[in-house]
Structure 1
Amino acid sequence: MSNADEQAGPAAVGSLGHRVPDLGALELLLAVARLGSLGGAAREMGITQPAASSRVRSMERQLGVALVDRSPRGSRLTDAGALVTDWARRIVEAAEAFDAGAQALRVRRDSRLRVAASMTIAEYLLPGWLLALRAQRPDTAVSLHAGNSTVVAERLLSDEADLGFVEGLSVPAGLDSAVIAHDRLIVVTAPGHVWARRRRSLAAEELASTPLILREKGSGTRQVLDAALGGLARPLIELSSTTAVKAAVVSGAGPAVLSELAVGEELAMRRLVRVPVAGVALARDLRAVWPTGHRPTGPARDLLSLTRG
């Protein structure tokens, strides 16, 4: 290759979009060839005849050759126009194949949604959101993996989930987030526990020094509680789900700190008693999370929108 060719090559590739007509212009030329009328081609393309004439003239200037002979009896392709039309047909067919392939990719993406969520969100918020999503996207198959906040982050970062939900203090490394709800942790006991009969609020120091029924390490609930109290006593029992913690508390095994979202029914039925606490804030944000730089699309984007509604 000569030096001149080497210099011209990159410029030629870079300027291809300026030298080749766009797909709309090529489709118009194909319609003129098929119908033998610029007016008919304009109607088929949904544009006015002056707009069609202008587009053809622009294409002729761009290519440097006459493409269409216009007369009162209709429009006829020139020899150059017939040759360009053959090329245009191949380009349009390739573009249609490209579009069909892209549509297939979108359909494949939209056919499934993999969600990972920490326990409280998975048990008490996601069922309603997923029912609403099903009404919007009945053909999307949804799988839900429930685990603690650490597990949610791991699944997102290993491409085993499309969207996650966590309830910890901070956003795990490598993830972007949006706050989608707020929650509050409360101390609960069985009605027969000594704390259920106390007249004064529980002091934060006493709560911190008391063995509690706790979620496992890595759970958002435990992270928030540990940070708020500055440390916890050795767990009375350590369990891996909110439902299991509730059952243990109801049975009289001991007190626990749980999401207010999770214990509404038990409090209303007096199966659990709320114990006021003084001097400690146990509010937390619930977040949707996804890998940094990869904003949710398709069903994941729609689910994220529903959580904010």
Structure 2
Amino acid sequence: MTEEWQAPLAHRVPDLGALELLLAVARLGSLSRAARELGITQPAASGRLRGMERLLGVALVERSPRGSRLTDAGALVTDWAGRVVEAAEAFDAGARALRTRRDSRLRVAASMTIAEYLLPGWLIALRGLRPDTAVSLTAGNSAAVADRLRAGEADLGFVEGLEVPAGLDAVVIGQDRLVVVVAPGHPWARRRAPLAAAELAATPLILRERGSGTRQVLDAALAAHGGAAPPLLELASTTAAKGAAVSGAGPSVLSELAVGEELGVRRLVAVPLEFPLRRELRAVWPVGQRPAGPARDLLSLTRGPSG
């Protein structure tokens, strides 16, 4: 036995605007007053009503100089329309509640450099846009940020490095340069000749831990020269690496963002390089989950004039 084909429900049921018009006509007894209440013209209301009658195949309203009266079919359809509109209003209230709950908090995970030197300004600006949103920030290396996003423990992340972590979508929000820095008393502080990649690779350095964006960029730049020498120190934060370099422990490779103040007052000296050490800064989120609400607003702030 062959089943009769039916068009999708959306093609067989009047839209909410038409149902609201029918309810207003039933309540007010006039098509023109119903049109005014809904903020549409009377010709538009007449066209909407005729379209609903064609769709349903029955007459819904009888018009006369004294006003508009529902037909028997119109009274029945009006009863159904009231339940549909009531359900739509409940649906809308529920959706607004979901948005309110989403917008009440924002969980951010960021790599150390971005968390320390860029995010504070962005979060202050976000506070002006969304004063009621509670923001939590977790700082770690780029690999840890990716792990938190994939585990659903953060809504938006920021990483540094050469590639987009697996399972994440991303957009570039800026560029960063890495610099080799030493204390003023280090022999490299007085050198004029740029430092070659081979010499840097052969020198024990104060390094960030593996998994950090800084380490990824440095390892890639020195790969053709056998990679970096065993580290003098391997530290889990930019602040710790910078402090060790300031103390004179040895050279370090750090973000220019992180050492700007120290370079300005000569607590550290930048060593010229023969080769560039640059990386992209990215906002990241789980594949297919485009940032919305506060996360979308924060993302827009990172790409604005102050970002």
TM bin (shorter chain): over 0.9
**Which residue of structure 1 lines up, in the alignment, with residue 93 of structure 2?**
100
**Which residue of structure 1 lines up, in the alignment, with residue 154 of structure 2?**
161
Matches within 5 A, 1:186-197: 186-197=179-190
TM-score by length of 2: 0.95
| Aligned equivalent of 2:299, options 278, 301, 304 | 304
After TM superposition, give the deviation of residue 199 of structure 1 in Å.
3.2
**Which residue of structure 2 lines up, in the alignment, with residue 285 of structure 1?**
280
**Which residue of structure 2 lines up, in the alignment, with residue 218 of structure 1?**
211
**Which residue of structure 2 lines up, in the alignment, with residue 41 of structure 1?**
34
Is the Cα contact below 8 Å between 2:108 and 2:137 reproduced in 1?
A: yes
Code of the aligned partner of 1:303? L
Code of the aligned partner of 2:66? R
List per-residue Cα deviations over 1:82-138 (Å, max 9, x = no partner).
111111000000000011111111111111111111111111111111111111111
**Which residue of structure 2 lines up, in the alignment, with residue 245 of structure 1?**
241
- Aligned residues: percent identity? 78
Determine if the alignment matches structure 1 residue 271 to structure 2 residue 264: no
CA distance in 2, matches of 1:53, 1:109: 41
Code of the aligned partner of 1:133? L
TM-score by length of 1: 0.94
Determine if the alignment matches structure 1 residue 234 to structure 2 residue 207: no
Unaligned residue ranges in structure 2 (runs of 5+) = none
| Aligned equivalent of 1:127, options 113, 116, 120 | 120
CA distance in 2, matches of 1:56, 1:109: 38
Question: SS where residue 161 of structure 2 aligns?
Answer: coil
CA distance in 2, matches of 1:82, 1:277: 83
CA distance in 1, matches of 2:71, 2:118: 67
Question: SS where residue 66 of structure 1 aligns?
Answer: coil
Question: SS where residue 211 of structure 1 aligns?
Answer: coil
CA distance in 1, matches of 2:228, 2:185: 24
Question: SS where residue 277 of structure 1 aligns?
Answer: coil
Unaligned residue ranges in structure 1 (runs of 5+) = none
CA distance in 2, matches of 1:38, 1:15: 30
CA distance in 2, matches of 1:18, 1:172: 43
Determine if the alignment matches structure 1 residue 18 to structure 2 residue 14: no
CA distance in 1, matches of 2:53, 2:216: 69
Code of the aligned partner of 2:229? A
Q: Compute the RMSD of aligned alpha carbons.
A: 1.2
